[in-house]
Amino acid sequence: MRSIDYQPGSLYTVRGRRKYLSADERARFIEATNRCSRAEIGTLCLTLAYTGCRISEALALTNSSVDLETGFIAIRSLKKRSRAVIVREIPIPSHLVTILELTHGISCGDPDARIWNLSRSRAWRLIKELMKEAGIAPGTHATPKGLRHGFGLHAIRSGVPLNLVQRWLGHARMETTAIYLQAMGSEEREIAERMWAQ
């Protein structure tokens, strides 16, 4: 059940609270993840941070979902309403490919075995704990969904075309992806500063 404060189609709640991790919070989360003493939790968190997938989609990943050679993860879209199986491929950094292989033995394991044997609620709590360790203040943004939104914003600010962000996030409609254009980036701030200087 969604919170009464939830507002669809926006990066802010009804009360004006941000739903996404800022660039600094996202960087601190990735840094905390790299220091995580439990490697299997670290790989889950890095996968979420670098793919923007939903927590349930990450937990459904199997060894065969990771293509070690090309550096892609094939994610089955679980939110689709139709009965058709929809899979989207998302590129991941080479260091994540290496960590996944070293931690989980993906190339020599059962191709159908899940990478993480965690319940959704347990994984959610572990991710929240890691966010706390990263110094991310509690709030709507400090959740796995906030991490997903942070990925979308990071991709847009890095110059990734909107249609690729749409495909990577598994959005059916471009309007859903376009919410990431709403957040103010450094370029917009620079333009505003030029205006204030005149």
CATH number, domain of 68, equals 1.10.443.10
Considering the domain boundaries, does residue 83 fall inside one?
A: yes
Mean pLDDT confidence for 166-171: 94
Considering the domain boundaries, does residue 75 fall inside one?
A: yes
Kindly report the average pLDDT of the chain as a whole number. Answer: 90
Considering the domain boundaries, does residue 155 fall inside one?
A: yes
- Structure confidence at residue 198 as a pLDDT band (50, 70, 90): confident
Give the structural domain span for 193: 23-197
Question: What pTM does this model have?
Answer: 0.89
In the predicted structure, residue 103 carries a pLDDT above the cut 80: yes
CB atoms within 10 A of CB 142: 20
Considering the domain boundaries, does residue 37 fall inside one?
A: yes
* 36-40, 96-100, 177-181: segment of lowest average pLDDT: 177-181
- Two tokens, residue 99: 């960590």
In the predicted structure, residue 197 carries a pLDDT above the cut 70: yes
Considering the domain boundaries, does residue 8 fall inside one?
A: no
Please provide residue 118's backbone torsions phi and psi, each rounded to the nearest 5 degrees. Answer: -130, 150
How many domains in the chain? Answer: 1
Looking at the chain, the whole-number percentage of residues with pLDDT higher than 90 is 72
- Structure confidence at residue 194 as a pLDDT band (50, 70, 90): confident
Mean pLDDT confidence for 85-106: 95
Query: CA distances (Å), 110 to each of 119, 154, 155, in order?
Result: 20, 34, 33
- pLDDT digits over 137-146, tens only? 999 999 999 9
Considering the domain boundaries, does residue 80 fall inside one?
A: yes
Considering the domain boundaries, does residue 189 fall inside one?
A: yes
- pLDDT digits over 25-48, tens only? 999 999 999 999 999 999 999 999
